[in-house]
Structure formats: C-alpha cells, structure tokens
Amino acid sequence: MKTEAMAILSTGDADVLQRMEIDLPEPGPREVRVRVRAVALNHLDVWTRRGLPHLRYAFPHRLGADIAGEVDALGPGAVGRVGQRVVVAPGVSCGVCARCAGGEDNLCREYKILGESTQGGYARHVVVPDRNLLPCPEGLAWEEAAAIPLCFLTAWQMVVRKGGVRPGQIVLVQAAGSGVSSAAIQLCKLLGAEVIATTRSPEKATRAIALGADHVIVTTREDLVKRVRELTLRRGADVVIEHVGGEVFEQSVLAAAWGGRVVTCGATSGFFPKLDLRQIFFRQVEVLGSTMGSRRDLFEVLALVQQGKVRPVLDRVLPLWSAADAHRALENGAAFGKIVLLVD
C-alpha cells in the first residue's frame, strides 16, 4: 500500500521538498496511524530541512511536528478509536523513566520531536505512539487545531511554569509575530499581566494590539531597552519571554527588572549573544532555558482553547503540496502567526 508525502530526499533549500509516493506506514505495538488533515510549520522544520548535524535522517524524510487529523488504524494493543478527531502531541518520550512518570516528559533523555528525529506530518499518513493522541477541541477547523500544539505548549511552559507570570506583572514578549509569541501574549493577558510586545514591522504592531498587547515597541524605529524603561517607570519588565537569541537576548536581559526573569528558547537568530555578566548577577536577573512543554500541559492548553479563552493565530493556509512556498514565507519573516498546510 502507498500514500503520498511532501518529503525530502536530501537536506537543502526549500526546493528539496518534493511531492512523492511513499510506503503507507504501518503502526507497531501501541502505535496508531493518523490520516493527517492539517500540519503547521515551525522554525524547526526549516532547520531540519537545511540539515542538523546531530540527526540521522531516514530518507524520504517527512518534516512536521504539529499535526491534526483522524485515527486511521490501530497497532497491536493501541488505545484509540478509528475515526476519532485528534491533535497529536509533538514530543515523543520513553514513557517509563522518572521524568516521564513525573509529568516532565520533555526532560526525558529519549525525548524526540515529530518530524525532526522521527517521521512527521508532511504526508497523508503518519504513525505515532498512542499516548501522543489528544482529543481535538470541538468546533475547530483542522487548520486551527494543527496551529496549536507546539507553539502553545512552548509558550505555556515559558509563561506559566518558568516565567511564573502573575496578575499585575509587566511581561515583555519579544517578536510578537511568531507562533510562540502570539500564544504567549494571550496567555499573559489571561493571567492578568500587562504585556509589552515587540516587532520589527508597524503592520505587525497593529495585529499584536488586536491580540491583546497593551504596548508595542517597533524595534526598527525605537530603542527597545529605553522604551521598556519608559513604559515601566524605569523598573524594567518582571518577565521577558524571548526566543530570538543573538542581540535580542542581550536586550532582553537589559530590559528585565532587578530580580526579573528572562525565559529563553529557540534562539532563531543566533546562539552566541554578547553579554555583560554584571547585568545578570548584580541586578539578580534569572535566566531560564525552556524547550517545548510536557504532554500534561497540552491538555491544559486544549481546555483553554475549548473554552474560547485563547485561540490559534493563523497567518495563511496552503495545500501541503505548496510546502516549499510556505517554507520561503516563514524564512522571509513575513508571517504573523502560524502557516498551516492542509492535506487533501
């Protein structure tokens, strides 16, 4: 049996994404096959496509961590129901170690992300462990459901668990147009914080305000650190949520209040910031690293979506077969929110 995918046979630029026939994947013990209906893009897709040195690719490799679809077949002993509408948790872990047992599966030594270290959702069919299935919130379109998992999970751990954001705090959310930031802005507002968002483009500033940001700093026109000091009456931000890295990381530390927290993930623009360590120890700034979030947290996120308290932000929806165009749009930084691929 065969199915179709938008797979890569080698790493490289967006053109390596090719429509092709692949063998229909068969679910093993405690695994399920999902008929993919929508898959959302993440920066991880771009890095994996360009080539990550620590990965051993099994070509044809399918990218795609954010998957929504229907259960199509059950492997031996798998829990699930054929036809069930599901959202797939993007992280796969061993399920038996102390970290997994403690609800910290994203700290499991076996932790993998779908479409990076495993086959992902850029295909009509994907096989995942049965414990990765979560019920799809009712009333959501496929493209909305696929836009939730990775960015909301990441934002939840950063804002709720690491940032400990509380009512009345001032939170600086860097790069408002990203999926993670569009989720973080909503979560911070839900928790009663005041949000200062940043963006490089005036058009994105309008959208950040519409999402609930109280202030937006357009960093191509204003000095970020100076403006944060003005907006916080010289105090600085209680919590900074940033996934940009590079120079933005340095500015994030400078913009934090004495004793404030900087939560960092992703480092999409650079891994090696220039940093004056006195700005960390003398002002007692806490720097916290974050990657993904636990599967348990995804249940909480989906409950908030079901209640209508947060919503996925979509930039554009394209057919899976236009994945190369979608990758170029993400790489150009043109998107506000998620780019989602629909699978026919």
Contact set with Zn ion (CB under 5 A): 93-94, 97, 100, 108
In the bound complex, what is the minimum distance in angstroms from residue 111's beta carbon to Zn ion? 7
Of residues 70, 63, 111, 107, the one with CA closest to residue 88: 70
Tell me how crowded residue 97 is: count the other CB atoms within 10 A of its CB. 16
In the bound complex, what is the minimum distance in angstroms from residue 128's beta carbon to Zn ion? 16
In the bound complex, what is the minimum distance in angstroms from residue 53's beta carbon to Zn ion? 24
In the bound complex, what is the minimum distance in angstroms from residue 157's beta carbon to Zn ion? 17
Of residues 263, 322, 276, the one with CA closest to residue 122: 322
Whether a cis peptide bond, with omega within 30° of 0, leads into 273 is no
User: What's the alpha-carbon Rg for the chain, to the nearest Å?
Assistant: 20
Q: What token pair was written down for 126?
A: 């994907």
Residues facing residue 88 across a β-bridge: 67, 133
In the bound complex, what is the minimum distance in angstroms from residue 91's beta carbon to Zn ion? 10
In the bound complex, what is the minimum distance in angstroms from residue 290's beta carbon to Zn ion? 18
In the bound complex, what is the minimum distance in angstroms from residue 101's beta carbon to Zn ion? 8
In the bound complex, what is the minimum distance in angstroms from residue 78's beta carbon to Zn ion? 19
97 vs 218, beta carbon nearer Zn ion:
97
108 vs 126, beta carbon nearer Zn ion:
108
- Residue number of the CB closest to Zn ion reads 108
108 vs 310, beta carbon nearer Zn ion:
108
Residues facing residue 66 across a β-bridge: 40
Q: Tell me the H-state helices in 112-269.
A: 142-146, 149-156, 179-190, 202-211, 224-231, 246-255
What is the CA angle 208-43-23, rounded to 5? 130
Q: What's the first-to-final CA gap in the chain, in angstroms?
A: 18
What is the Cβ-side half-sphere exposure of residue 296, based on CA atoms within 13 angstroms?
A: 12
82 vs 96, beta carbon nearer Zn ion:
96
321: region left, alpha or beta (phi > 0 left; psi from -120 to 50 alpha) = alpha
In the bound complex, what is the minimum distance in angstroms from residue 240's beta carbon to Zn ion? 30
Q: Quick one: 98 exposed, middle or buried, by C-beta within 10 A (0-12, 13-18, 19+)?
A: exposed
100 vs 159, beta carbon nearer Zn ion:
100
29 vs 202, beta carbon nearer Zn ion:
29
d(CA 290, CA 174): 15
101 vs 303, beta carbon nearer Zn ion:
101
90 vs 245, beta carbon nearer Zn ion:
90
Whether a cis peptide bond, with omega within 30° of 0, leads into 27 is no
108 vs 341, beta carbon nearer Zn ion:
108
What distance lies between CA 65 and its chain's CA centroid? Answer: 9
22: region left, alpha or beta (phi > 0 left; psi from -120 to 50 alpha) = beta
